[in-house]
Structure 1
Amino acid sequence: MRDMSGQRSPGSLRILCEAAPDYGVTAEACLAGTGLVAFDLYSEHTHVPLEQELRAIGNFLRLAPYRPGLGVEIGRRFRPEVFGIWGYAIQSSPTFRACLRTARAFANLSFIIAPLDLDERGDPPRLIFDIGKLPTGLKGFVLERQLTIVAGFSTWLMPDFPLSKLTLQTTLNTPELAAAIEKMLGIAVTLDCARDALELPGALMDEPLPRHDPAVMEQCLRQCRQLLKQEDSGDLYWTSRVREAALTGIEGDHTVGSVATRLGMTERTLRRRLSDEGTSFRKILLESRLAIGHELLKTAGMDVSSVAWRIGYSEPSSFIRAFTKEFGCSPGSMKQRVSGAR
């Protein structure tokens, strides 16, 4: 399982605490013993060790209490857009196989708890969820939640994705869990297996994904690699913090001064720290905005002026110049090519 002390975004825990009152549990009760308060879950400064999140899940399940299908209900609250750059990298992949490999490679940037692995040695291929080291009382909930996130991503990427052709093999031996998954997700379940794995339809693995875009994918993968490098070595910490701020409310009027204030430092200090990491505030903001703008033009059916406004440009002409320089074509011509391919 992932390092219990490894730092992660509070987003997953925030979703749980926001859902908890629907089950008669307060956010404060979920967070008991974690050292966190609800306010922390909305702060850019908060990074949550996995151990704290597991404690909060345990609190929730004791008070809710857990029943088969509860993990599916919570998992449905994890829309693809909440996963940030990890989600954008997945959606811009060329095939389902490629998106699974990307999801596995950068899983530490996600809210995933059970480590992912893709076993392509046999037929059918299998996506493995390693829940073996989780506390016994949390295994069913985490497995349901993670399976629901995978199912949600699959149908979002491929609207006709046949969930009914999937089979979940699980080490658990709980008929009620199998019945809940089959009823709520339409996925068949085989109990008491040697491992927890989702059998995938081999014929779909190399089907092209409609949201694939090479330029966006490369930008996203580059940012994912930078963030992983930060996790592994402590480098690029301030780059990632500024990028997170830029991707939060991308249409907002972000300035180096406003972001520095949010990060609790002076503008001069932030500029110096970014310079030490080989980048600048303007470069980070520009790359983040253009990557989102490219995706909106490709998938959201928005016109160029609307996209320019959405990502923070007051004048479409400025957006057009920056976009053309970054991607080698104008946003209008790219939109025409996408429309013609549909």
Structure 2
Amino acid sequence: MMLAEMNVSGDLAALLLRFIEQKQLDAPELQKQLCQYPPASRMTFRSWWCYLDQLQALMPKIPIGLELGLAIEPAYLGVLGYLTLSCDTVAEALQRFEHYQRLLHDGETASTRLSQDQFCIHWSSQFGISTQLSDEVLIMGMVKNLRIITGNNDLQPCRVQFVGAQPQGGIDYRRWLDCPVSFEQPELMLCFPLDYLKRPVSHSDPSLKKLLDQQAQALLDVIPRQEVFYQQLQQAIVKVIQSGTPTQEKVASLLKLSSRTLHRRLYEQGLEFRTLLKQTRLQLAKQYLAERKLRLTEIALLLGYSEQSAFTRAFRQWSGETPLQYQRKLSAAGIS
């Protein structure tokens, strides 16, 4: 899984340490692991997910992801946290977040869509799917940060959608987020009323913003672009899928690598071409099905299948349901 080997800000270790302290948890081994991350360091997503799982195991009846999201403060977001606090409006803070989000994590980058009455921040899954706990920290943390920068604790999202299945345990997500929440969706998404973009930031400081902008850019320039190879690989896989029968040799050729070199690089990253191909096809299939602009026969051809029946069989094997069943589920959830 590609995302697992990418990095997230080590500053989040301080969030977990503070949470353990506040809850008076007996977790000496976990604390020892978290103390290895100094400010501005990095940890892998795999480690981050493991730490969240350990915390959840210590408090099985508490929705750890949502609790941690509510505990987010600017200090845990490093320079980017303070930069958003110094902006003039929510729209400007969101623009800075999108530009500098690699300071917080590699991999999926957030982008914003605007409609007549909402703006939606969404994350694709092109590098693999994150865990439900991690997504909950992200979503609730975004809500909390919006409240912090505006000084208004009453701000609420319009809707939230998660990629993962709804967790067992009876968590009342509507009580936590005060909006419709759906699961097993094509992408992680968080939506707010459009007029929130015009809200002023309560601690706006143009002079400080200029200094923090410079500092954030300097930090961004020295972070290794770990995801570049993955992005190029993903793009190459999409191209060979849409041009015919996808093979590792064709992908290697597009990347200007020998098939042997590509195999070695995949092996070094713990990746397998067949798995990447399946993940990419599934992601594209869900995207095409959600858009409803193409017939199933056309989707099958775009995914490199000569017949619709072959695509239907593959989709059922990947997801446990047929393409039509998946579209009906989206319709039932109000997603067009």
Q: How many Å apart are 1:60 and its aligned residue? A: 3.5
Sequence identity of aligned pairs in percent? 13
The aligned counterpart of 1:228 is 220
- Structure 2 unmatched ranges of 5 or more: 227-336
Partner of residue 96, structure 2? 102
In 2, the alpha carbon distance for the partners of 1:101 and 1:56 equals 30
1:57 and 2:49 correspond:
no
Match of 1:11 in 2: 11
Q: Distance in 2 between matches of 1:169 and 1:158?
A: 24
Q: 1:131 deviation in Å? A: 5.9
Residue by residue over 1:260-305, the C-alpha shift from the partner in whole angstroms, topping out at 9 and shown as x without a partner, is xxxxxxxxxxxxxxxxxxxxxxxxxxxxxxxxxxxxxxxxxxxxxx
Q: 185-194 or 152-161, which moves further after superposition?
A: 185-194
**Which residue number corresponds to residue 200 of structure 2?**
208
Q: Secondary structure at the match of 1:212?
A: coil
Alignment partner, residue 160 of structure 2: 168
Correspondence 1:142 to 2:134: yes
Q: 1:45 to 1:222 in 2, by over 3 A?
A: closer
What's the CA shift for 1:87?
0.9
| CA 1:222–1:182: 2 relative to 1, 3 Å | same
Could you tell me which residue of structure 2 aligns to residue 159 of structure 1?
Answer: 151
User: Which residue of structure 2 aligns with residue 26 of structure 1?
Assistant: 27
Q: 1:158 to 1:178 in 2, by over 3 A?
A: farther
* 2:75 is aligned with 1:81: yes
Could you say what the CA RMSD is over the residues aligned between the two structures, in angstroms? 3.6
CA distance in 1, matches of 2:2, 2:92: 22
Residues 1-342 of structure 1 mapped to structure 2, 5 A cutoff: 4-6=4-6, 9-20=9-20, 22=23, 24=25, 26-28=27-29, 30=30, 37-41=33-37, 43=38, 47-61=42-56, 63-64=57-58, 69-110=63-104, 115-120=109-114, 123-130=117-124, 139-160=131-152, 162-174=154-166, 180-232=172-224
- 8 Å Cα contact 2:116-2:194 kept in structure 1: no
Deviation at 1:27, TM superposition (A): 4.2
Q: CA 1:134–1:187 in structure 2 vs 1: closer, same or farther (change >3 Å)?
A: farther
- Please tell me the residue identity of whatever aligns with 2:148: W
Deviations 1:181-234 (A, max 9, x none): 321343432344332211111122123323222222111111111111111489
Aligned partner of 2:195: which letter? A
Report how far residue 19 of structure 1 moved: 2.9
1:23, 1:3 → 2: CA distance?
Answer: 32
Alpha-carbon distance change, 120 to 12 in structure 1, aligned in 2, over 3 angstroms: same
Offset, 1:114 = 5.9
Q: For structure 1, list consecutive stretches of 5 or more residues without a partner in the other structure.
A: 235-342
C-alpha distance 179-193 of structure 1, shift in aligned 2 (>3 A): same
CA contact (8 A) 2:157 2:177 kept: no
Distance 1:7 1:72, change over 3 A: closer
CA offset at residue 18 of structure 1?
4.3
Work out which structure has the larger RCO, using CA pairs closer than 8 Å and 6 or more positions apart in sequence.
Answer: 2
CA contact (8 A) 1:23 1:64 kept: no
Q: Distance in 1 between matches of 2:176 and 2:222?
A: 38
**Structure 1 counterpart of 2:303:** none
C-alpha displacement of 1:148: 1.6
Q: Distance in 2 between matches of 1:60 and 1:175?
A: 16
Closer, same or farther: CA 206–184 of 1 in aligned 2, 3 Å = same
TM-score, structure 2 normalization: 0.55
Are residues 87 and 60 of structure 1, via their aligned partners in 2, closer, same or farther at CA, if it must alter by over 3 Å?
A: same
